[in-house]
Structures are given as structure tokens and as C-alpha cells.
């Protein structure tokens, strides 16, 4: 085999040796609670996403070509193979662009790949809730820290939820399987070597497909490593490893810096709005203006935005033709936020993207990039009937600096889940997740979401 874990020299091996040894009791209470919050929010997104038309296409193919009924597709009353259910659940979790976002040196929607992988494996055998939450937190570390080790990664054009997502999913899955240090490192290697997803596919069905494929690749990596399949044990730091070829800058030591003392899951963010996260401060500002002044959209002369430059490069779609594209349009988002006072699922449909009132208003949006603003900041001025209405956002709702409360997350979950599984089941899921670390078998929770 290509190297065994004896003397720990490289960061991949050290990371995996440390993470293989960690136990549920090692997880700080805040990390455990962020785990519960993450599971609750993600299950709501996956349930709501399961009704998206994109899933119909994907499931038709997976039902023809996929595996035996082993793992639940949430919200569909359907099971697929261990490697196929994660594609569906990962895509469902991300398709609405409503799932969690980690912004600490990355822009990573960790939960869709990671939890889609873990829920699939949790149906293979009994998994306790506390072990499940630990594996989730460990996967988070792997994905986020690899991103920090490859800081040129996002700028290079990669969709991190696909690339880092594969690594997060593989390490999480390996941890849930209880792999030892060496096999966990091979799982990380096998997962990393499958990492893919291009930003070119923003606004297409492929964007959320990246999350699903990452989940599936992670499960496969862990199952292979469990049986002795090998990969390079320097997959992150090696000469042709991850932080050399996915990034123009390599910082491999980030993989182990303060490892065990800092848990990245505690810096996770949750979205109040169902669109690209960099749009959120703009939407906060527009909704604030609308709540203070009774503005008739038809009488608006202009909507002037001052934003972080990423808003233009990531969400600069001026004339979105589909609901998926509209989730990456700052023009559309400002317009619907002013018309509806909201930016949730109904605001990002194909129909709303083609709505004449929205189109008329989005053409009045003017965007100025300002390097001095943070990614969670924005200034908005709405000019209507000659009056200038202004709002400034310091930390957008749902970011680490202004987190959604547990109550707000619950309300979001219920709004997402009730239309799919009904009020009674949704309440039972919610209660089960808040007590997940005491649940003896995660399959009880899965059955409620089928």
C-alpha cells in the first residue's frame, strides 16, 4: 500500500489521526448545538427542495439506473441505493440555494454534501445521534480547512460545494464508519480525487447536482477505504495534491491549525433568503426600507446598491430567464424584495423570473461595487416619487455576526417541511433534531422524513 500511518509527518495524516481519535464528548456544547441547528435547517431545505422540478429529472434517471432500495430520498416516499440516494438528497438540499453557508475563508454550503452522505450511511446500520453529530462536525472541519489550505480556490473558478463538499462528505462518512487513522486518511484521499464542480454551471441544474455528486463520492470513498482501497496520504499537501492544483496559493498548515480547539461548525451561517448568500445584505436593506415606507413599485425611479464586488461577479445576472438563474441575480432579488417584502421560495420560480412587474423593476436597479464593504454589508437607496429611502446593513441576517435565532430557524424549518410531510411529522422531526445527541438510532428520524 502507498504509505501507512506510522510516524505522522504530513498534515493529511495528522488531521486524520486527530479526527479519528475524537469522541462525542470532545465536542464543545456550542459545536454540538450548531450541529443540531445545521441538521434542522438542512432537513427543511432538503424537504422543500425535494419538490423542485430538477429532482423529477434526476430521480427518473436514478430510478432507472440506480441501486436497490437501501436509503431514503427525503420527501419522496422512495428509496434508492447507498450511492444514489445521496445524489438526490444532496441536490434537493442545495437546489433552492437556501441551505447553510460557511464564510470563514471559504464560501461553502457544507451540509448538503455532508448530511446527504451521512443520512445514507445511517440507514446501512444503527448510528447513534451523538456519533452522527460528531461525524458531521468532523466533515465540516475537513471541508472548511481544506478550503483554507487552498485559498485561491474560489477565485480559480471552482464551485466549492462540489469540490470541498466531496472531501467533507468523505471524511464525515469515514468518521461515521469508525475508520482508524490510516483508513480515514485514505477515505479523504479517495474523496478528494473525485472533487469537481465548475462555477461556469451557476444558474443551471448542475449547481445543486455538484452537492449531490459530492455526497455520493464521499460515501463511495468511505466504503472503499473501509475495505482497504488506498490513495495518496499526502493528498492535500503533496506536490500534485489538492492545495497545489485547485489553488494558486497553498497553505497546507491550515488543515491542522488549532485543530480540536476551534470547531468550524460554530461559524456556520443559515439563510433567511432562498438565494446566493452574497445577496442577503441587499435584501435585508430593501426589506427594511419597505417596512418603513409604503412604496408603490410602479412609482420607483431607481434602486441604487452599493455592495461588495463579489455581488457583481457571483450574482450579476441582469436578465435571468429561469428561477435557478434568478437566485444569482442581484437585480431580480432587489426587485422581488421590494415588491413582496420577501425573498423565499416563491420569489425564485421560473414564473417570477418572467413576471413583467419584476422585469420592469429589476431594470431600474443600479449596482456599484465598493471594495471597502464586507461580504455581509450593503447600502441601498430606493428613489420613488422623488424621495430617497436609504438603509445600511452592517451584518446581514444569518451570518456569523448576526445569526438566525433558534426560533427563527425553527420557523424556517416548519415553513419548508410542513407542505411536504405535514404539520405533525414536521413537529416530531423538529423535536427529534433538538434531541439528536440523545437519539439511539438515526433511522427513527429518517423515517419521519421519508
Which residues are near a copy of itself by CB under 8 A?
1-2, 54, 57-58, 60-61, 64-68, 70, 81-84, 156-158, 162, 189-190, 192-206, 209-210, 213, 217, 219-220, 223-224, 227-232, 234-235, 238-242, 244-245, 321-322, 324-325
Q: What is the DSSP string of 306-334?
A: EE-HHHHHHHB-SS--SHHHHTTBHHHHH
> In sequence order, what are the beta bridge partners of 402?
399
Smallest gap, in angstroms, from Cβ of residue 353 to a copy of itself? Answer: 12
CB of 39 within 8 A of CB of 99? no
- Rounded to whole angstroms, the Cα distance separating 432 from 86 reads 21
> Cα separation of 416 and 99, whole Å?
11
- Of 68 and 438, CB closest to a copy of itself: 68
Which CB sits closer to a copy of itself, 23 or 227? 227
For residue 25, give the DSSP letter: G
Least gap, CB of 436 to a copy of itself (angstroms): 25
Q: Is 240 helix (H, G, I), strand (E, B) or coil?
A: coil
* Degrees, nearest 5: CA angle 74-344-268: 70
- Min. distance of Cβ 80 from a copy of itself in angstroms? 9
Q: Quick one: 185 exposed, middle or buried, by C-beta within 10 A (0-12, 13-18, 19+)?
A: buried
Q: How far is the CB of 208 from a copy of itself (least distance, A)?
A: 11
**For a copy of itself, which is the closer residue by CB, 26 or 248?**
248
Considering beta carbons, is residue 213 or 306 the nearer one to a copy of itself?
213
- 8 A C-beta contact, residue 33 and residue 266: no
C-alpha separations of 249 from 10, 154, 310 in Å: 18, 11, 20
Q: Which three cell numbers stand for residue 362?
A: 429589476
Rg of the chain over all Cα atoms, to the nearest angstrom: 21
Angle, CA of 304, 308 and 314, to the nearest 5°: 95
CB of 73 to a copy of itself, least distance (A): 15
Do the beta carbons of residue 326 and residue 423 sit within 8 Å? no
**Least spacing, CB of residue 192 vs a copy of itself, in Å:** 7
DSSP for 104-115? SSS-B--HHHHH
Residue position matching grid coordinates 423593476: 361
Nearer to a copy of itself, 144 or 317 (CB): 317
Residue number, 245 or 360, with CB nearest to a copy of itself: 245
Q: Three-state DSSP class for 295?
A: coil
Partner residues linked to 246 by β-bridges: none
Which of residues 93 and 297 has its CB atom nearest to a copy of itself in the complex?
A: 93
Residue closer to a copy of itself, measured from CB, 73 or 219 = 219
| 77 contacts 92 by C-beta, under 8 angstroms | no
Least separation in angstroms between CB 15 and a copy of itself: 16
The whole-angstrom separation of Cα 173 and Cα 20 is: 12
Which residue lies nearer to a copy of itself by CB, 228 or 394? 228
Least distance (Å) from a copy of itself to the CB of residue 203?
6
Given the complex with a copy of itself, which of 81 and 403 has the nearer CB atom? 81
CA distance linking residue 94 with residue 100, whole number of Å: 9
Grid coordinates of 168: 467533507
* Closer Cβ to a copy of itself, 18 or 213, answer by number: 213
Q: How far is the CB of 45 from a copy of itself (least distance, A)?
A: 20
- Shortest approach of a copy of itself to residue 114 CB, angstroms? 18
CB of 332 to a copy of itself, least distance (A): 15
Residues facing 51 on adjacent strands: none
Amino acid at each position: 500500500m502507498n504509505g501507512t500511518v506510522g510516524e505522522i509527518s504530513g498534515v493529511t495524516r495528522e488531521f486524520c489521526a486527530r479526527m479519528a481519535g475524537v469522541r462525542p464528548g470532545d465536542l464543545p456544547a456550542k459545536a454540538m448545538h450548531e450541529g443540531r441547528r445545521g441538521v434542522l435547517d438542512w432537513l427543511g431545505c432538503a424537504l422543500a427542495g425535494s419538490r423542485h422540478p430538477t429532482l423529477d429529472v434526476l430521480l427518473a434517471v436514478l430510478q432507472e439506473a440506480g441501486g436497490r432500495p437501501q436509503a431514503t430520498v427525503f420527501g419522496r416516499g422512495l428509496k434508492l441505493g447507498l450511492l444514489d440516494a445521496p445524489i438526490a438528497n444532496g441536490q434537493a438540499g442545495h437546489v433552492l440555494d437556501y441551505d447553510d453557508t460557511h464564510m470563514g475563508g471559504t464560501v461553502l454550503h457544507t451540509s448538503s454534501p455532508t448530511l446527504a452522505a451521512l443520512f445514507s450511511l445511517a440507514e446501512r446500520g444503527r448510528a447513534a445521534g451523538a456519533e452522527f453529530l460528531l461525524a458531521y462536525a468532523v466533515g465540516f472541519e475537513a471541508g472548511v480547512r481544506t478550503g483554507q489550505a487552498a485559498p485561491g480556490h474560489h477565485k480559480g473558478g471552482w464551485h466549492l460545494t462540489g469540490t470541498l463538499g466531496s472531501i467533507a462528505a468523505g471524511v464525515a462518512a469515514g468518521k461515521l464508519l469508525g475508520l482508524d487513522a490510516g483508513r480515514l486518511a485514505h477515505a479523504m484521499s479517495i474523496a478528494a480525487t473525485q472533487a469537481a464542480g465548475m462555477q461556469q454551471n451557476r444558474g443551471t441544474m448542475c449547481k445543486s447536482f455538484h452537492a449531490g455528486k459530492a455526497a455520493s463520492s464521499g460515501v463511495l470513498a468511505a466504503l472503499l477505504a473501509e475495505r482497504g482501497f488506498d490513495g495518496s496520504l499526502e493528498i492535500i499537501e503533496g506536490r500534485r495534491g489538492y492545495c497545489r492544483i485547485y489553488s494558486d496559493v497553498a497553505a497546507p498548515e491550515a488543515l491542522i491549525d488549532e485543530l480540536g480547539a476551534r470547531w468550524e461548525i460554530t461559524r456556520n451561517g443559515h439563510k433567511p433568503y432562498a438565494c446566493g448568500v452574497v445577496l442577503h445584505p441587499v435584501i435585508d436593506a430593501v426589506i427594511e426600507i419597505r417596512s418603513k415606507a409604503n412604496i408603490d413599485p410602479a412609482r420607483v425611479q431607481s434602486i441604487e446598491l452599493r455592495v461588495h464586488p463579489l455581488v457583481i461577479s457571483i450574482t450579476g445576472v441582469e436578465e435571468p430567464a429561469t428561477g435557478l438563474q434568478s437566485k444569482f441575480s442581484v437585480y431580480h432579488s432587489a426587485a422581488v424584495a421590494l415588491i413582496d417584502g420577501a425573498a423565499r421560495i416563491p420569489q425564485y420560480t421560473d414564473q417570477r423570473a418572467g413576471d413583467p412587474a419584476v422585469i420592469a423593476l429589476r431594470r431600474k436597479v443600479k449596482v456599484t461595487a465598493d471594495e471597502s464593504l464586507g461580504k455581509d454589508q450593503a447600502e441601498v437607496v430606493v428613489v420613488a416619487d422623488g424621495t430617497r429611502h436609504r438603509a445600511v446593513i452592517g451584518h446581514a441576517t444569518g451570518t456569523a455576526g448576526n445569526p438566525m435565532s433558534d426560533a427563527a430557524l425553527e420557523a424556517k424549518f416548519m415553513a419548508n417541511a410542513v407542505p411536504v410531510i405535514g404539520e405533525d411529522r414536521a413537529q416530531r422531526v423538529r423535536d427529534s433534531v433538538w434531541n439528536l445527541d440523545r437519539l439511539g438510532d438515526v433511522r427513527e428520524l429518517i423515517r419521519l422524513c421519508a
